[in-house]
Amino acid sequence: MEKVIKILIVDDEPFNVNLMDKLVRKAIKRSFSIFDFKITKTVSPTEALESIKSSPPHLLITDIMMPEIDGYQLIKEVRKLYNMEELKIIVVTSLEDRDSRIRALLAGANDYTVKPVDAVEFPIRIMNNIKLIENYLLLKDRTLLLENAVKEATKEIREREREIIFRLAEATEYKDAFTGNHIHRVAEYCKLIAEGYGCDKSFIESIYIASPLHDIGKIAIPEKILGKPGKLTQEEFEIMKKHTIYGANLLKGTKIPLLQFAQKVALYHHEKWNGKGYPEGLKEKEIPLEARITAIADVFDALTSVRPYKKAFPFEKAMEIIKEEIGKSFDPELATIFIEEEKEVYKIYKTFSSLKGEVEDATV
């Protein structure tokens, strides 16, 4: 919280500056403020404007009739930088006519009084403005505290959502002992592709948290199919394909944006760029972006991982297969990003491949 209220006094007559300084100090003593105060004085409006640009006061007290630039212009320049709540302006001038008052107020002054200043009235005006400044600073501080509290609460909710989603995704892996760190690697690969594609922060965070649920529908697939050591029959494969629909149905109807995001990933991550995927045979950009990204991550990780029906492909061979499928299974732009980030892909591949025998080693 700001603890010092800054006041700037501007008048081309040193006598007036010193007089107002004394009356301002008198007002400060009577205000019983919880804030400290710093008073700056100048006879140059140009110098005052430069000072305001670099270190704005909370209260500006200015004359109108001054050389270099007059008070009207000074007020207008200040108002280009700060609004009437951020910086209070009191005009003190010998101009008593109504037009001058209206002109000053239209320029952005908060208050207006005439010279010679009244030794009783002027400090009261200062005290009133100090109270307004205090209220503004206290409200600003409370607003900032509230914003920070909301940010922390939102962060905590997102962390809880992430943990719940990862644990839910891990429940699928209990049925498939060969998947190991699959969901963690897929999440990292998805994040890498999304960042390379220039997705916004919200999308990147969502795909990182939601992509582990891409295979949640496998909960409904019989274990004898999931763990079959050989090639699936056509009938078994048709059953396996239904995990996309089962997963989408499991997540359908939620009002939670993150799970709505995950629902599309679960349903469409086996669609192919050429339209030969499943369950709906979507093609190209008919397939949601989150699913197109997850498809690359999921296939690459499946290639480099041990499965009941196959050994893990070496890293370099898996990258070659991704290249071969550009424009067929995968979005060309997204797959190219993945290939170009080969060194980062390899880091993820090694970092999350801690389970013995889970992946085949390779060098890049």
For the chain, the structural domain boundaries read 4-145, 174-351
Q: Give residue 176's pLDDT.
A: 57
Rounded (5°) CA angle 54-60-65: 110
Phi, psi of 267 (to 5 degrees): -75, -40
Going from the C-alpha of 239 to that of each of 52, 223, 264, 280, the distances in angstroms are 72, 12, 20, 15
Written as tens digits, the pLDDT of the chain (364 aa) is 678 999 999 999 999 999 999 999 999 999 888 899 999 999 999 999 999 999 999 999 999 999 889 999 999 999 999 998 889 999 999 999 999 999 999 999 999 999 999 999 999 999 999 999 999 988 888 888 888 888 888 888 878 877 888 777 777 766 655 555 888 899 999 999 999 999 999 999 999 999 999 999 998 999 889 888 888 999 999 999 999 999 999 999 988 889 999 999 999 999 999 999 999 999 999 999 999 999 999 999 999 988 777 888 999 999 999 999 999 999 999 999 999 999 999 999 988 775 444 554 443 3
At the topology level of CATH, where does 174-351 sit?
Hypothetical protein af1432 (1.10.3210)
Q: Give residue 174's pLDDT.
A: 65
User: Does the pTM of the predicted model rise above 0.85?
Assistant: no
Q: Give residue 226's pLDDT.
A: 86
Residue whose tokens read 């997204």: 334
Q: Give residue 361's pLDDT.
A: 44
Q: Give residue 31's pLDDT.
A: 87
Alpha helices by DSSP H, the chain:
14-31, 45-54, 71-79, 98-107, 121-173, 182-197, 201-210, 223-226, 234-241, 243-251, 257-268, 289-303, 315-324, 332-340, 342-351
Q: Give residue 355's pLDDT.
A: 45
CATH code reported for the domain at 4-145: 3.40.50.2300
Q: Give residue 140's pLDDT.
A: 86
